[in-house]
C-alpha cells in the first residue's frame, strides 16, 4: 500500500480526527497529498459517509493548526536562519529588512492565496513569522485562506462524487503548473524591480 492509499484508508477508518491530523501535518510540510485528501473527504460527504459540517470543521481546524505551527517556528527560528543564510544568497541586513518590511505590508495576501499553490503554502507562514507579521493579522488572512481552500476542494470532491479519483491526478498536475507559473512570475517581477533600481542608481 502506497502512502496515498494509506492516508485514504486512515480517513475511511478514523474519519474526522484522521483528516484533521493529516491536513495539519501536510500544511507544516510533510509529504501528504492535501488536495487529494480533501477531494476524497468531499466525495465521502456525497456518499453520506461523512457529514458536511464536521468534515469542513476538521479540515479548517487542521489547516489552521498546521499553518499556525509554521508561523511560530518562523517567528522563533526565522531570524537566526535568515541571518546565517541571508549573506549566502545575497541578502545583507539592509536588504533583509526591506524584504521583511515588504512582507509585513503586502505579503499577508500570500497567506490568503498561497494554500492553492503546492509548496508555497508550506513557506508563507514561516516567512510571515520570521518577518514578525503580527499574529492577529496573520490569523485573519491565514485562517480565511484555510477556510476558502478547504471549502473549495471539499465542494469539488462532493461535485465529483465517485469520479473524484479519476480527476484527482489532473487537478494535482494543474496545481503544479500553477506553482511554476507563480514562481516564474515572482522571479520576473523581482528581476524587473532590481533592473530598475540599478538603472536609477546608475
Instruction: Quote the percentage of the chain above a pLDDT of 90.
Output: 37
pLDDT of residue 75: 86
Contact between residue 63 and residue 146 where contact means Cβ atoms under 8 Å apart:
yes
Question: Cα separation of 2 and 97, whole Å?
Answer: 44
DSSP state of 163: G
pTM (two decimals): 0.77
Residue entry with cell 465521502: 44
Q: Tell me the per-residue pLDDT of 93-109, one tens digit each, with 9 for 90 and over.
A: 555 666 667 677 777 78
Q: Name the residue range of residue 185's domain.
A: 3-201
| C-beta separation of 160 from 126 below 8 A | no
pLDDT greater than 50 at residue 192: yes
Domain count, the chain: 1
Lowest mean pLDDT among 22-26, 122-126, 183-187: 183-187
- Reported as a pLDDT band with limits 50, 70 and 90, residue 23 is very high
109-141 pLDDT, tens digit per residue, is 878 877 887 777 777 888 888 888 889 999 999
Are 36 and 4 a contacting pair, CB within 8 Å? yes
Q: Is the distance from CB of 36 to CB of 111 less than 8 angstroms?
A: no
Backbone CA torsion sign across 110, 139, 53, 28: positive
pLDDT score at 172: 59
Torsion sign, CA atoms 56, 62, 65, 69: negative
Amino acid at each position: 500500500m502506497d502512502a496515498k492509499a494509506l492516508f485514504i484508508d486512515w480517513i475511511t477508518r478514523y474519519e474526522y480526527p484522521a483528516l484533521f491530523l493529516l491536513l495539519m501535518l501536510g500544511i507544516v510540510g510533510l509529504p501528504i497529498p492535501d488536495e487529494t485528501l480533501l477531494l476524497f473527504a468531499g466525495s465521502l460527504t456525497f456518499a453520506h459517509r461523512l457529514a458536511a459540517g464536521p468534515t469542513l470543521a476538521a479540515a479548517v481546524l487542521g489547516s489552521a493548526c498546521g499553518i499556525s505551527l509554521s508561523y511560530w517556528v518562523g517567528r522563533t527560528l526565522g531570524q537566526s536562519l535568515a541571518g546565517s543564510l541571508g549573506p549566502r544568497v545575497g541578502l545583507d541586513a539592509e536588504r533583509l529588512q526591506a524584504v521583511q518590511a515588504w512582507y509585513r505590508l503586502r505579503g499577508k495576501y500570500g497567506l490568503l492565496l498561497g494554500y492553492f499553490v503546492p509548496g508555497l503554502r508550506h513557506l508563507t507562514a514561516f516567512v510571515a513569522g520570521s518577518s514578525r507579521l503580527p499574529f492577529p493579522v496573520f490569523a485573519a488572512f491565514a485562517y480565511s485562506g484555510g477556510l476558502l481552500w478547504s471549502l473549495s476542494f471539499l465542494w469539488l470532491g462532493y461535485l465529483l462524487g465517485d469520479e473524484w479519483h479519476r480527476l484527482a491526478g489532473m487537478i494535482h498536475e494543474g496545481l503544479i503548473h500553477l506553482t511554476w507559473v507563480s514562481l516564474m512570475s515572482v522571479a520576473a517581477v523581482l528581476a524587473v524591480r532590481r533592473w530598475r533600481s540599478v538603472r536609477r542608481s546608475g
